[in-house]
Amino acid sequence: MAEMKKAEPPKDVSQYKGIMVYLDSFEGKLTRAAHEMIGVGRKMADKVKEPCIGVVIGDKVDSMADDAGKYGCDEVYGFESHDLSMYRSRPFTDILSSMVFEKKPNILIVPGTKNGRDLAARTAVRVQSGLTADCMEIDVEPETDILIARRPDYGDSTMSEIRCEKHRPQMATSRPGTFDLPPYDEKRSFKKEIRKVELKKDQLREEILSFKPKGGEDITVSKVLVSGGLGMGNADGLKLIEQLASIMGGSYGVTRPVADLGWAPRDHQVGQTGKIVRPDLYIAAGISGKPQHIVGMMDSKTVIAVNKDPDAEITRYSDYVINGDLYEILPVFIEELKKRKKMKDKN
């Protein structure tokens, strides 16, 4: 529980050193988002020549701590208890905050998964510091040790640069998929410390009754995505999108307005309020390219835009632009791909 008072900055910020990375996990494994954040932390640590400190909390954390070290943490602190096999807001906040008080990191970055965002928001209040959510860029200024956190402003085609100059640690989250994975080095040396935790009853008031894994496909792991926007005109357009996606062994995505209209489930929504994807191929059909959507797909390897408007914003983020009605263009793709499949069959 945080004290009811204003956020007091520390008198001497120079005592705060190092980049702390909270390592989000699921079923005993670090999440992709956690790996991404190790990469971000590692880069900043190299820039300011300070350690990258990983914190992992769970039931059994040893192999996750090793994983974090091999991906780039210099020091990894693991907190272990049978009561911590799944995320619980209060004890996780207690542990992460205690690590902040103990290690005094200059920067604390947290994967922007739902549990990570929950944890970061509480921890920022507990440690009386500033937090910037959904950063697209996270960097540090070596001269000042100041965190540069940039996040998009929706509705406007701008990004805000947000700083937390007086309070420590300077905190940020980023949505999963925002960054590339760092390199893995089996031989990397790092310091590991596993601590057993005894939790008090009042830390465990939250009871997890059940967990049902979500069925359906996870569009963030698809190599090929075909997405439809309002240019589809109606819910039936999705059939064409799905057909093209499935012929390439990929999945389909949609924009926020399409999900808002109920034409497709939210799990398939690409963008700031949906998923951030980075497939090998992204086909944007009937999508104008609002920042809200661009954020979710701009790091795809190859982007093809299919749009009636040759100057639609999406074309600026596309490698190839096909000007035309998606109902005329996508069937050409489908036919051509079918032909090639048949040829493969014959061979």
Partner 1 sequence: MIELALHLVVLIKVVPDGKEVFVDPVTFTLNRSMATNIINPADENALEAALQIKDQTDAKVTVMTMAPPFAEPFLMECMSRGADEAVLISDRAVAGSDTYPTSLTVAAAIKKMGDVDIVFAGEKTSDSSTGHVGPGVAEFIGAELASYSRKVTYENGYVTAERELENGIEEVRIPTPAVVTILTDSNDPRRATLRKKIDAMKRGIITWSLADINIPADWVGLRSSPTVVKKMLPFPRKDRKGEKIEKEKIPELIDNLVKSGVIRVEAE
Instruction: For the segment 3-22, give every residue that binds partner 1 (CB under 8 A).
Output: 4-7, 9
Instruction: Decide if residue 157 touches partner 1 (CB under 8 A).
Output: yes
CB 147 within 8 A of CB 128: no
Beta bridge partners of 32: none
CB 102 within 8 A of CB 130: no
- Single out the segment in contact with partner 1 by CB under 8 A; choices: 10-18, 159-167, 186-194, 232-240: 159-167
Determine if residue 117 is left, alpha or beta; phi over 0 gives left, psi from -120 to 50 gives alpha, anything else beta.
alpha
x/- binding map, residues 301-340, to partner 1, per CB under 8 A? Answer: xxxxx----x----xxxxxxxxxx---xx--xx--xx--x
Radius of gyration of the CA atoms of the chain, in A: 22
Would you say 183 or 324 has its CB closer to partner 1?
324
Residue ranges in 238-277 that form contacts with partner 1 under rule CB under 8 A: 248-249, 257, 266, 272-273
x/- binding map, residues 85-114, to partner 1, per CB under 8 A? Answer: -x--xx--x-------------------xx
Instruction: Decide if residue 225 touches partner 1 (CB under 8 A).
Output: no
Rounded CA separation 145/140 (Å) = 6
Please give the DSSP secondary-structure letter assigned to residue 259.
H
Residue from 46, 60, 153, 191 in contact with partner 1 (CB under 8 A): 153
CA distances 29 to 14, 26, 81, 233, Å, are 34, 5, 15, 42
Residue from 101, 198, 212, 236 in contact with partner 1 (CB under 8 A): 212
CA nearest neighbour of 88 among 196, 203, 175 = 203
- Single out the segment in contact with partner 1 by CB under 8 A; choices: 11-19, 100-108, 116-124, 232-240: 116-124
CB 242 within 8 A of CB 264: no
The H or E element spanning position 235 is: none
**Cβ at position 245, least distance to partner 1 in Å:** 12
Instruction: Decide if residue 163 touches partner 1 (CB under 8 A).
Output: yes
Residue from 12, 49, 196, 208 in contact with partner 1 (CB under 8 A): 208
Would you say 103 or 151 has its CB closer to partner 1?
151
Residue from 10, 17, 26, 59 in contact with partner 1 (CB under 8 A): 26
CB 204 within 8 A of CB 78: no
